[in-house]
Amino acid sequence: MTTTPRPVPQHDLLRRPAPDRLPAARPPTGAGTAAAADLAQVLVRMRALAAALPAEDGVAVFNGVYLAVTEEVAERIGDGTFQDPSAAGELDRCFARRYFAAVDAATAGLRPPACWRPLFQLRRHPGVRPLQFALAGINAHIGHDLALAVLDTCRVLECEPDALASDFERVGGVLTSLEERIRERLMPGPDVLEVADPLTHLIGSWSLDKARDAAWVAARALWGVRGLPEVAEELTERLDAGVGLVGRMLLTPLPG
């Protein structure tokens, strides 16, 4: 008797595999030093932006957060944290290039991706607090850029997204470990913890972990339709617009 195979549910197709079951994208031997050297160039650009922008500029606030994250990743590239340092370094470089492209577009008077526009438009608004600027930048970079950076990395390394899953998780772990420090550093004071403070409600409506999970799902979905350019383009545009809408909400000017 022949049994018809049961179709795999869509959510299983998009689920992240367990990190301990994933192969490395490429052999890690000797890759840590080269990856760290490449990330050093990313850090140079971020530090140049930090020196050029006024401290109160919303883009400068995000840049400071992103610089801290990238410094942490660079330190861990060569210490065995990542399963494949070369792949992790490439992912981080592709990730950073998306941010730099948005900065360059805004500097040239062009329109950056929709996910970044709220931050660039409201970067000097007196009613937006530093923590809002930081979260809006993280939202744009994680929610949109990270998904596309996974695809960029897969094309460079000629691998499937699953080969990056383990180090994707480890990079995410760095982000999560820094999130609490970011919130503590940018909180305006102890009164913000009061239930009545609007910032408490605003920051509670967004989750880095959920944004990271959504980025992985988006990357897998876009990779799955890479042979259908029109579908892939529409999905990318919808992702960009949706993340931009969330960013605009995070930058709602607040009293006080």
Give the residue among 187, 173, 165, 193 at the shortest CA–CA distance from 91: 165
Q: To which residue do tokens 């959504």 refer? A: 214
Cα–Cα distance, 96 to 91 (Å, whole number): 9
pLDDT in tens, 48-85: 999 999 999 999 999 999 999 899 888 888 787 888 88
Joined together, the tokens standing for residue 146 give 């990270």
Cα–Cα distance, 195 to 191 (Å, whole number): 9
pTM: 0.83
pLDDT in tens, 133-188: 999 999 999 999 999 999 999 999 999 999 999 999 988 888 877 777 777 777 66
